[in-house]
Amino acid sequence: MGSVLLSALLSVCACGLSPAWGETGVTPQEVRVGMSNALSGPAARLGTRLKAGVEVYFGKVNAAGGVHGRKLKLISYDDAYEPGRCAAFTAKLVDEDRVFALLGYVGTPTSTGVLPLVNELGVPFVAPLTGAASLRSPVNRLVYNVRGSYADEMEYLVEHLTHDLGVKRIGILVQNDSFGAAGEDGVMIALRRRSLSLCGKGSYKRNTEEVGEGLAVLQEAKPEAVILVGTYKPLATAVKQARAAGFNPRWATISFVGTEAFMAELGPAGEGVFVSQVLPSPFDERLPFIVGYQRDMKAAGESPDYGSLEGYVDAAVFVEGLRQGGVELSRASFLRGMDGLQADLGGLQVSYSPTNHQALRRVHAIQVQGGKAVPVSESFR
């Protein structure tokens, strides 16, 4: 990955950061936005649904005349949730496609892997689909998170398991990379707050479904609940294998799993599984924002789900930043606009400041019941 980043840096430096007519990626007619995420492989539904939400919102904005008269052009590549491919595509987006900003990356190892290039070239990096602390603390002037952190989600899940359900023995099954480590850190922090320790840890390799060894470790530890950290295919495989073996703790996981894809992979084995969420339900019509989202998705021939809702929200926040950036848009004016952003998106309040680059913090949850995602009571929040 280092050679890819170095070649990109040398190439960009050789040709200059800004063309004669203005800021990189900005013309009087358009703003070019780059995206590299998982559009294929075992995490494909995460990237495809997030991208769908972004495209629907961008289409809505463009149909209304764009932002300060500029249409939004999304340039997207498929990195299959592999850090090396993500780094190469990011270099291409910055060097060849000359994008103004990067939006909607998927994953911790992919997002953290491109930060050296982002930091070196001063490219805004908005709404990565990750809750990793490394993208939140210390605050990076170029990175703007929309979703809540893994620490927020793990605090919610551990509170629900211990306070509401009386569970004391909690184990974890994690993807064996930086994403899994970030999730594990969140669990450990939440457990320590309650003077509890971890009851067993299993792991598996990213982009595989080789979960047997990790499950064996957990089965021997006999936890009352297991928190899962990974993508939908391997985690669904784990739950199904465990149930088939008579290993039936309470199962819980975080929003990155991709709720609808997870439930589809699980089938009947998903009954009772908990999933934390960083956004309200895509069917919660009490919020004007959700009503508008549903209307726009229907008009585009798309079905509502948590994944596309996140992309739609991400795009809405990005567009608010562009508006705040003004008619004479530059990366500097965009960053100033984002740092002062205070917006009501229709019942969904988002804000940033120079010391806070996370727009949302509230955590929700669903439980799988009868093949449906049923919201969990938030009485303890």
Looking at residue 366, its pLDDT comes to 93
Question: Stretch 133-141: mean pLDDT, rounded?
Answer: 94
Q: In the predicted model, is pLDDT for residue 310 greater than 60?
A: yes
DSSP secondary structure string for all residues of 281-303 = -TT-TTSHHHHHHHHHHHHTT--
125 conformational bin, left if phi > 0, alpha if psi -120 to 50, beta if neither = beta
pLDDT above 70 (res 15): no
Q: What proportion of the chain, given as a percentage, has pLDDT over 90?
A: 89
Chain-wide mean pLDDT for the chain?
A: 92
- CB atoms near residue 302 (< 10 Å): 17
Task: Report residue 377's pLDDT band, with 50, 70 and 90 as the boundaries.
Answer: low
Angstrom distance (rounded) from CA 280 to CA 263: 18
Q: How confident is the model over 183-211, as a mean pLDDT?
A: 95
CB 42 within 8 A of CB 231: yes
**Residues 183 and 254: beta-carbon distance below 8 Å:** yes
HSE toward the beta carbon, residue 106, CA cutoff 13 A: 34
User: What's the whole-number mean pLDDT along residues 213-224?
Assistant: 96
Question: In the prediction, which pLDDT does 42 show?
Answer: 83
Task: Give the whole-angstrom CA distance, residue 153 versus residue 253.
Answer: 9
Answer whether residue 4 shows pLDDT above 90: no
Amino acid letter, 57: Y
pLDDT tens string 246-305: 999 999 999 999 999 999 999 999 999 999 999 999 999 999 999 999 999 999 999 999
Q: What angle do CA 166, 171, 176 make, to 5 degrees?
A: 150
pTM here is: 0.88
Residue 19 has pLDDT above 70, yes or no: no
What residues contact residue 320 under an 8 Å CB cut-off, 6+ apart? Answer: 341, 343, 345, 350
pLDDT at res. 376: 86
Q: Give the model's confidence band at 5: pLDDT under 50 very low, under 70 low, under 90 confident, else very high.
A: very low
